[in-house]
Amino acid sequence: MVNRRSLLAGAAAALAAASPRRATAQSTRSYILATATIGGTYYPVGVALATLTKVRLQAAKGIDLSAIASAGAVENLRLMRENRAQFALMMGLFGLYARDGTGPLAQEGPQRNLRAIANLWPQVEQVIVRARFVRTGTVDDLADLRGRRFSMSARNSGTEFANRFLFGNLGIDPDRTFDLVHQGFGPTAEAMLAGQVDGFNAGAGIPVPAVTQLFARGGGEFAFLEFTDDEARRADGGAGLFYPFVIPAGTYPGQTRPVRTVAQPNFLVVNAAVPEADVYEITKAMFENLPFLHGIHAATREISLATALKGVVNPLHPGAARYYAEQGLAIPEAIRPV
User: For residue 192, what pLDDT band results from cuts at 50, 70 and 90?
Assistant: very high
Model confidence, pTM: 0.86
Q: Do domains 4-120+266-335 and 126-226 have the same CATH topology?
A: yes
Average pLDDT, integer, range 270-276: 98
Tell me the C-alpha distance between 93 and 76, whole Å. Answer: 14
How high is the mean pLDDT of the chain?
A: 91
Q: Tell me: the pLDDT tens digits for 133-185? A: 999 999 999 999 999 999 999 888 888 999 999 999 999 999 999 999 999 99
pLDDT for the residue numbered 16 = 52
Give the HSE-up count for residue 49: Cα atoms under 13 Å, Cβ half-sphere. 34
SS3 annotation, the chain = CCCHHHHHHHHHHHHHHCCCCCCCCCCCEEEEEECCCCCCCHHHHHHHHHHHHHHHHHHHHCEEEEEECCCCHHHHHHHHHCCCCCEEEEEHHHHHHHHHCCHHHCCCCCCCCEEEEEEEEEEECCEEEEHHHCCCCEHHHHHHHCCCEEECCCCCCHHHHHHHHHHHHCCCCHHHHCEEECCCHHHHHHHHHCCCCCEEECCECCCCHHHHHHHHHHHHHEEECECCHHHHHHHHCCCCCCEEEEECCCCCCCCCCCEEEEEEEEEEEEECCCCHHHHHHHHHHHHCCHHHHHCCCHHHHHCCHHHCCCCCCCCECHHHHHHHHHCCCCCCHHHCCC
Beta bridge partners of 123: 264
Q: Tell me: the pLDDT tens digits for 5-47? A: 554 555 555 455 455 555 344 589 999 999 998 877 889 999 9
| pLDDT(304) > 60 | yes
Out of 3.40.190.10, 3.20.20.140, 3.50.50.60, 3.10.129.10, select the CATH number for domain 126-226.
3.40.190.10
- CATH architecture type of domain 4-120+266-335: 3-Layer(aba) Sandwich (3.40)
| pLDDT(1) > 50 | no
Q: Tell me: the pLDDT tens digits for 37-79? A: 887 788 999 999 999 999 999 999 999 999 999 988 989 999 9
Domain boundaries, the chain: 4-120+266-335, 126-226
pLDDT for the residue numbered 3 = 52
Beta bridge partners of 263: 124, 243
Closest CA to 77 of 158, 155, 153, 183: 158
Residue burial 111-142, b: 16+ Cβ < 10 Å; e: rest: bebbbbbbbbbbbbbbbbbbeeeeeeebbbbb
User: For residue 295, what pLDDT band results from cuts at 50, 70 and 90?
Assistant: confident
